Amino acid sequence: MKYLKKLLLFIPLIWVITGCQQSETEQQANKQTEASQQQVAVDENKESASSKLTPLENEQPDQPLSIDEFNDAIYEVVQDSIQDAVENAVEDEVAKEEQQQ
Amino acid sequence: MKKILITLLMLTGSWIIHAEDEVKIKITADLPYLDVRHNGEIVRIMRIQDPEHRLSNSYAKTSRPCPPFCVHPIKLTDKVQTVGVLELLNFLDNQVKKGKGALIDARLPQWYEKGTIPGSVNIPFPILTAGTENPHTARILKLLGGNKSKDGSWNFEKARELMLFCNGLWCGQSTRAIKALIKIGYPENKLFWYRGGMQDWQLLGLTTVIP
Q: What is the pLDDT of residues B169-178, one digit of tens each?
A: 999 999 999 9
Tell me if B149 and A75 make a contact (CB, 8 A cut-off).
Answer: no
The predicted-structure confidence for B10-31, as pLDDT tens digits, reads as follows 555 555 555 556 899 999 999 9
- Percent of residues, chain B, with pLDDT higher than 90: 87
Residues B42 and B119: their CA atoms lie apart, in Å, by 9
pLDDT of residue B193: 98
| Residue numbers in B near A89 (CB within 8 A) | none
The predicted-structure confidence for B179-211, as pLDDT tens digits, reads as follows 999 999 999 999 999 999 999 999 999 999 998
Strand partners, B82: B193
Number of domains in chain A: 2
For residue B109, with 0-12 CB atoms within 10 Å meaning exposed, 13-18 middle and 19 or more buried, which class applies? middle
Name the minimum distance, in Å, from the CA of B33 to any CA of chain A: 20
| Same domain membership, residue A44 and residue A17 | yes
pLDDT of residue A2: 62
ipTM, two decimals, is 0.84
Residues B28 and B47: their CA atoms lie apart, in Å, by 10
A80 touches chain B (CB under 8 A): yes
| Same domain membership, residue A65 and residue A36 | no
| Same domain membership, residue A25 and residue A6 | yes
Tell me if B155 and A56 make a contact (CB, 8 A cut-off).
Answer: yes
| Same domain membership, residue A44 and residue A1 | yes
Tell me if B109 and A82 make a contact (CB, 8 A cut-off).
Answer: yes
| Same domain membership, residue A46 and residue A24 | yes
The predicted-structure confidence for A37-87, as pLDDT tens digits, reads as follows 555 444 544 444 444 444 444 444 555 789 999 999 999 999 999 888 777
pTM of the model: 0.72
pLDDT of residue A38: 56
Q: Which residue has the higher pLDDT, B12 or A8?
A: A8
Number of Cα atoms under 13 Å in the Cβ half of residue B113: 3
Domain containing A39 equals 1-54
Phi and psi dihedrals of B152, rounded to 5? 95, -5
Per-residue pLDDT, averaged over B94-100, amounts to 96
The predicted-structure confidence for B121-160, as pLDDT tens digits, reads as follows 999 999 999 999 999 999 999 999 999 998 989 999 999 9
Best interface-test mutation with A: which of B98, B105, B121, B134 has the largest number of A CBs within 10 A? B121
Residues B176 and B130: their CA atoms lie apart, in Å, by 11
Do the beta carbons of residue B136 and residue B128 sit within 8 Å? Answer: no
A77 touches chain B (CB under 8 A): yes
| Residue numbers in B near A55 (CB within 8 A) | 149-151
| Same domain membership, residue A73 and residue A50 | no
Tell me if A64 and B99 make a contact (CB, 8 A cut-off).
Answer: yes
Tell me if B127 and A75 make a contact (CB, 8 A cut-off).
Answer: no
| Same domain membership, residue A39 and residue A82 | no
The predicted-structure confidence for B26-66, as pLDDT tens digits, reads as follows 999 999 999 999 999 999 999 999 999 999 999 999 999 99
Nearest to A74 among B123, B147, B150 (CB): B123
